[in-house]
Amino acid sequence: MSNSEFDYIVVGAGSAGCVVANRLSADGQTRVLLLEAGPSHNSVILKMPAALGLPLESTRFNWGFKSEPEPGLNGNRSDQHRGRVLGGSSSINGMVFVRGNPLDFDSWAEASLPNWSYSHCLPYFKKMETFEGGADKFRGGTGPLHVHKCKADNPLYQAFLGAGQDYGLRLNADQNGERQEGVNVAQASTYKGERWSTARGYLDSARERNNLVVKSGAFVTGLVFSGKTAVGVKYEINGVEQVAHVTREVILSAGAFGSPQLLLLAGIGDQKELKGLGIDVRHHLPGVGKGLQDHVAVAIQYSTPKQGVSPTRELSPLGRLFVGARWLATHGGLGGSNYFEVGAFFRGNDNVEYTNLQHEFFPMVGEFYRGKARITPGFQYFTSVMRPASRGSVTLASKDPKAAPVIRLNFLTAPGDLEQLREGLRKTREMIAQRSWDELRGEEISPGKHIQSDAELEQWIRNNAGTGYHACATCRMGVDEMSVVDQDGRVYGVENLRVVDASVFPALTTGNTNAPTIMLAEKLSDHILGKMAAPMNVSAFREAVAPSVQKLDMPAGMPH
């Protein structure tokens, strides 16, 4: 083969693309080209977990998208941080590792996608990880992605865990194991005090393969077709356009915004919209870019009367120097924390089939990571709706491939979403009122105790809610007319073109979406190679997700 001809071309070296490039090139023979618009992932601010906010401050590692004004959020816009670097968003995210609820995947299977039940997905969740707690029926022990159980030894974390139990939630020893529901010590994709992105886990070990070519700084400008068959990719490096040809498939792993954008630019999408932009229609596929889903979230903030429990002093300008120096020397201390060390999954009411709300907890108030950091001692509970009914879209601003996509999230525009979030806030207040918070709970800063009625809470939510950064479902797997790909990720209506990333999720998962995206990439890599792991027997699982708010016997040393 020539230097411009490959068996597979993977567009986007993110959470999914690094996995696909590794697995497809593993035989040492199949020639794979991996294209990434951003730079290398070797920067110290990407490796240090506590520096997680710094990459979001510039476009060096971040696409820096913004949503359009949100009608359900009183016209506010949401930042849409997306990794523009090897490892993609796994190189700039909060590193919180959540698989999702097994019933999420069973619902995918029930929607005419039989190969995506939890039984089918579990082998790939196990394959992808090395869990610090060791391998068992549900967890993996030899995979490329390291998963670390956080220490959660700060008194604020301990109060969170205790208050959840006071309220009636079970203490869950492993929210990514047999059951998800309850209050938990969080798990993070870190290893020995460093971020462990897919670039670290999957790409670094494969870079020496002669059959894998990785090009960073390569901005993909379009797909090359012969009729309805994908035959290559056009891209630019330092302003010079190049073309790579493919003998088998082009695989889009450009994410929930990038993959639909590339399909639309190639003339694959709603024909009316394409014609309006002067783009020749290659195939009418109306679902491209439609059905965007994301978790809507809002934070309750409290002060704390106890000095020294919030790590605000360590994050002063001088403090950050000491934190950074200690981390460089030992990879320990605050620099090795992603701050989100505890969390919870719970039900807003007894009528939901399974957990519909998530807590992510932060042991400070404010935006600690910005240069003008406005931080004060305290804590905040981020409350998110797990299965929102609202749907958004990703469309083109123009046929210029370098123009940012038009992102409409449409948060809180569908019936029920606002009510779930309001219900979650009331329950969050109940948890914070529990005795475990008595010594550490100060005043409610936001929304403030004067905000009580449904109408007052609604207005506050619409003014303050935002994104969970979990966009998905813009190239949805399925069998209806709005589906974009089949259950193998193959784009309907064209040949040799596949999508492998969170855009093909049929629906949001319960919790952060990075881990299920990596699982999906592992699984679809096997589909591409014509093999599939045997489904695992999890028949007892449904008994484990029955509603449960009773307390368990607590392990020694845990609050009660």
For 241, the token pair is 């356009």
Amino acid at 342: V
Given this model, what pLDDT does residue 366 score?
80
Rounded CA separation 223/233 (Å) = 5
Structure tokens at 166: 């006071």
The predicted structure's pLDDT at residue 319: 86
Three-class SS of 352-417: CCCCCEEEEEECCEEECCCCCCEEECEEEEEEEECCCCCCEEEECCCCCCCCCCEEECCCCCCCCH
Give the model's pLDDT for residue 2.
Answer: 55
Structure confidence at residue 260 (pLDDT): 98
- Please tell me the chain's helix, strand, coil percentages from 3-state DSSP, rounded to the nearest 5: 30, 25, 45
Single out the residue of 433, 431, 425 nearest to residue 451, CA to CA.
Answer: 425
> What sections of 235-392 are H helices per DSSP?
255-265, 271-276, 317-330
Residue 543 near residue 124, CB atoms below 8 Å: no
Distances (CA, A) of 258 to 246, 461, 512: 20, 29, 19
Contacts of 452 (CB under 8 A, 6+ apart): none
CA distance 119 to 511: 19
% of residues, the chain, pLDDT over 70:
94
Phi, psi of 345 (to 5 degrees): -125, 130
The whole-number pLDDT of residue 436 equals 98
- Which domains does the chain possess? 1-144+190-293+393-405+471-542 (3.50.50.60), 151-185+296-385+413-464 (3.30.410.40)
pLDDT of residue 502: 98
Give pLDDT tens digits along the chain (560 positions): 457 899 999 999 999 999 999 999 999 999 999 999 999 999 999 999 999 988 888 789 999 999 999 999 999 998 899 999 999 999 999 999 999 999 999 999 999 999 999 999 999 999 999 999 999 999 999 999 999 999 999 999 999 999 999 999 999 999 999 999 999 999 999 999 999 999 999 999 999 999 999 999 999 999 999 999 999 999 999 999 999 999 999 999 999 999 999 999 999 999 999 999 999 999 999 999 999 999 999 999 999 999 999 998 888 888 889 999 999 999 999 999 999 999 999 999 999 999 999 999 999 998 644 344 578 899 999 999 999 999 999 999 999 999 999 999 999 999 999 999 999 999 999 999 999 999 999 999 999 999 999 999 999 999 999 999 999 999 999 999 999 999 999 999 999 999 999 999 999 999 999 999 999 999 999 999 999 999 998 875 544 454 444 333 333 333 32
For residue 148, the SS3 value is strand
3-state secondary structure of 320: helix
Q: Which of 523, 529, 513 is nearest to 94 (CA)?
A: 513
CA distance 554 to 179: 17
pLDDT recorded at residue 313: 83
pLDDT tens for 155-186 read 999 999 999 999 999 999 999 999 999 999 99
Are β-strands 497-499 and 65-66 bridged in parallel, bridged antiparallel, or unpaired?
A: unpaired
Please confirm, yes or no, whether 470 is among the known catalytic residues: yes
List the catalytic residue out of 41, 146, 359, 470.
Answer: 470
